[in-house]
Amino acid sequence: MSNNPFGPGSGPDDQSFPRTFPPAEQQPQQSAQPQQPMAPQQNSGYGNNGYQNSFGSAPAPDHTPTAVTPQPGATSAPKERKGPSWGGVIAIATVAALLAGGIGAGASYALQSLQNTSSEQETSTADEKIKTADVPDWATIASDAAKSVVAIQVGRDGKVGELGSGFVYKNKDSDSLFIVTNNHVVASGDSAGGEVKAVFRSGATVAAEIVGRDPETDVAVLKMKDVPRGVDALPVGNSDALKVGEPVMALGNPLGLADTVTTGIVSALNRPVATANPGKSDQPEVATITNAIQTDAAINPGNSGGPLVNGAGKVIGVNSSAAALPGTAENGQAGSIGIGFAIPIAQATWIADQLIDTGQAKHAYLGVKIVSGDVSRSGVTVGSAVVDGVENGSPAEQGGLNKGDHIVAFNDTPVNGAVSLQALTRSKKEGDTVKLTVVRGGHPTDLNVTLAAK
C-alpha cells in the first residue's frame, strides 16, 4: 500500500530551427484496458523512441521538414519485444472520469480566473451579452518561451534511445537552474551506462544528471552540468486559476521536431487520467494517477515533459499523455486526436521541489481503502468512491470518515469513482484541508479532512 495515497499502502548562438531528428524504427505501444466500453484510451510515455542519431549531437538545421509519420519497421526487421519501451511507446490507459456516474469531475471549473492572460471586452445585443477576448501574441510568447525549452535525449553507448521534452525551472530555495520533465522520458537513463542530454534552441547541448524522479506523479528533475549563456527559467503560472476555454500553447520536441509549438484551449479541468509508468528497482511498474488539465493543443510522441503555457507565457502544466483511438497505439499509428493531458504545474512544482531538496517525493493521502460505486443523492444516482476501510490514526479517521461512506465530492468537485478521488487527493499537498461530501445512511454531509503525506 506504500504507493496508494489513501493508505499505507555556453553554447553556439545559432538560432536556425526547426531541428529534426531522423526517424528510425517505430516501436509498438503498450496498452491497458479501458475502464468503460468505448472510453477513449490514453497515451502516456509520450517520449519518442528509436531515433538513432549520434547521442548528444545538435542536428543540422532543416528549414523545410516534411511531416512524415514513421512507419513500423521502416528501416529494419521488427525486433521481438518482451516488455514496454517507456520513452518511445505510448502507454494506453484510461480516463477515469468516464466511470459509471458520468464525467462531471472533468467538467468542473476552477473558481479563480487568470488576471493577466487577456483583456476582455463585452458587447451586447437586445437579448444577450457576448464576451470576447483578445488573442494572445503567440509569436512573442513562442519566441520567449522557446529559450527555456529543451529537447531531451536519453541513451546508452552513444545512441539515442528516447526523445522527450523539458523546460528550465528555478527552485525557490535554490539559485541553481534545473530541468523539469516526465519520469517516463528519463527513466531508462537512471541506470548504469545511461546518459541524459538536453538540447537548447540555440543548439547548445549539455549533459544532465537525474536529481530525482517520481513515477507516481510522472515528474522528474534534471540538473545541467553546464548552463548555456542566456538561459533562464520559464516563469511559472497558477494552474489553480485556470478556466475551461482559456488559450494555451504546448511547446516541445514531437517526433524529434524540436522547437515545435501548438495552440489550443483548456478543454477540461480535474480530468482523472490513469497511466502505467516505469518505476524503480523494487517496483518496475507504477500506476500514475493525474488530476489532469485536458487540452486540444496537439500533443504527440516526444512532447512529454514539455511545458503547457497560458496566454501570458507562464507554464501552467507539464505535458504528459494523450488519447488514442482504439487500436491505433498498438500498431504504431497513434498521434494527436485533440485530446491531450498535462500535469497541473502546482502539483508538478511541489513534487519537483521535494526531489530537488531530498531526491524523493511524498504524496498527500487520506488513509482509506476505497472502491468505485454509486449512490442516490437528491433522487439522482451518482458515481462515488465507497470507503471500504479506514486506517487507524489516518487523516480520514481524524476527519470522521466511516466504512460504508460514499464520497461524492471533493472540494465541491464531483467524485465519480475510486480513481477520481485518488487523482484529486494526489493533486493536493500535505497540510491542505479539504471538504469531502459524503452520503451516509442516505443523507449527505460535509467533512473537513486535513491531509497528511507519505
Q: CATH number of the domain that 446 lies in?
A: 2.30.42.10
Q: Are residues 319 and 369 in the same domain?
A: no
Q: Are residues 278 and 375 in the same domain?
A: no
- What is the three-state SS of the chain? CCCCCCCCCCCCCCCCCCEECCCCCECCCCCCCCCCCCCCEEEECCCEECCCCECCCCCCECCCCCCCCCCECCCCCCCCCCCCCCCCCCEEEEEHHHCCCCCHHHHCCCCCCCCCCCCEEEEECCCCEEEEECCCCHHHHHHHHHCCEEEEEEEECCEEEEEEEEEEEECCCCCCEEEEECHHHHHHHCCCCEEEEEEECCCCEEEEEEEEEECCCCEEEEEECCCCCCCCCCCECCHHHCCCCCEEEEEECHHHECCEEEEEEEEEEEEEEEEEEEEECCEEEEEEEEEEEEECCCCCCCCCCCEEEECCCCEEEEEEEEEECCCCCCCCCCCCCCCEEEEEHHHHHHHHHHHHHHCCCCCEECCEEEEEEEEEECCEEEEEEEEEEECCCCHHHHHCCCCCCEEEEECCEECCCHHHHHHHHHCCCCCCEEEEEEEECCEEEEEEEECEEC
* Rounded Cα gap, residues 31 and 320, in angstroms: 16
The number of domains in the chain is 3
Comparing 103-117, 164-178, 225-239, the range with the smallest average pLDDT is 103-117
Q: Are residues 172 and 244 in the same domain?
A: no
C-alpha cell at 348: 508538478
Give tens-digit pLDDT for 354-400.
Answer: 999 999 999 999 999 999 999 998 889 999 999 999 999 999 999 99
* In a domain? residue 437: yes
Q: Please report which confidence band the pLDDT of residue 31 belongs to, taking 50, 70 and 90 as the band edges.
A: very low
Mean pLDDT over 189-217 rounds to 93
Question: Does residue 104 or residue 248 have the better pLDDT?
Answer: 248
Q: Are residues 271 and 310 in the same domain?
A: yes
Q: Please report which confidence band the pLDDT of residue 328 belongs to, taking 50, 70 and 90 as the band edges.
A: low
Question: Does residue 381 or residue 111 have the better pLDDT?
Answer: 381
Supply the pLDDT for residue 175: 83
Q: Please report which confidence band the pLDDT of residue 26 belongs to, taking 50, 70 and 90 as the band edges.
A: very low
* In a domain? residue 344: yes
Q: Are residues 375 and 340 in the same domain?
A: no
Comparing 30-34, 224-228, 344-348, 354-358, the range with the smallest average pLDDT is 30-34
Supply the pLDDT for residue 332: 54
Q: Are residues 206 and 251 in the same domain?
A: no
Domain boundary (224, 255, 274) is at 224
* Rounded Cα gap, residues 322 and 297, in angstroms: 10
CATH number, residue 176: 2.40.10.10
Beta carbons of 389 and 369 less than 8 angstroms apart? yes
Annotation says 218 is catalytic: yes
Comparing 58-62, 177-181, 373-377, the range with the smallest average pLDDT is 58-62
* In a domain? residue 203: yes
Mean pLDDT of the chain: 76
Q: Are residues 220 and 243 in the same domain?
A: no
The percentage of the chain sitting over the pLDDT mark of 70, rounded to a whole number, equals: 69
Owning domain of residue 398: 364-453
Choosing from 218, 296, 353, 405, the catalytic residue is 218
* In a domain? residue 162: yes
Q: Please report which confidence band the pLDDT of residue 129 belongs to, taking 50, 70 and 90 as the band edges.
A: very low
Give tens-digit pLDDT for 210-260.
Answer: 999 999 999 999 999 999 999 999 999 999 999 999 999 999 999 889 999
Q: Are residues 344 and 382 in the same domain?
A: no
Annotation says 184 is catalytic: yes
* CA end-to-end span of the chain: 11
Annotation says 363 is catalytic: no
Q: Please report which confidence band the pLDDT of residue 147 belongs to, taking 50, 70 and 90 as the band edges.
A: very high
pTM over 0.85? The answer is no
* In a domain? residue 132: no
Mean pLDDT over 411-428 rounds to 95
Residue indicated by cell numbers 506523479: 217
Choosing from 165, 304, 384, 394, the catalytic residue is 304
Domain boundary (198, 224, 250) is at 224
* In a domain? residue 308: yes
Domain boundary (224, 256, 283) is at 224
Q: Are residues 212 and 261 in the same domain?
A: no
371 half-sphere exposure, CB direction, 13 A CA radius:
6
* In a domain? residue 69: no
* Rounded Cα gap, residues 301 and 320, in angstroms: 10
Mean pLDDT over 251-279 rounds to 93
Supply the pLDDT for residue 27: 30
Choosing from 108, 184, 296, 321, the catalytic residue is 184
Q: Are residues 342 and 244 in the same domain?
A: yes
Question: Does residue 332 or residue 416 have the better pLDDT?
Answer: 416
Question: Does residue 347 or residue 94 have the better pLDDT?
Answer: 347
Q: Are residues 153 and 186 in the same domain?
A: yes
* Rounded Cα gap, residues 109 and 119, in angstroms: 20
* In a domain? residue 206: yes
Q: Are residues 211 and 155 in the same domain?
A: yes
C-alpha cell at 126: 437586445
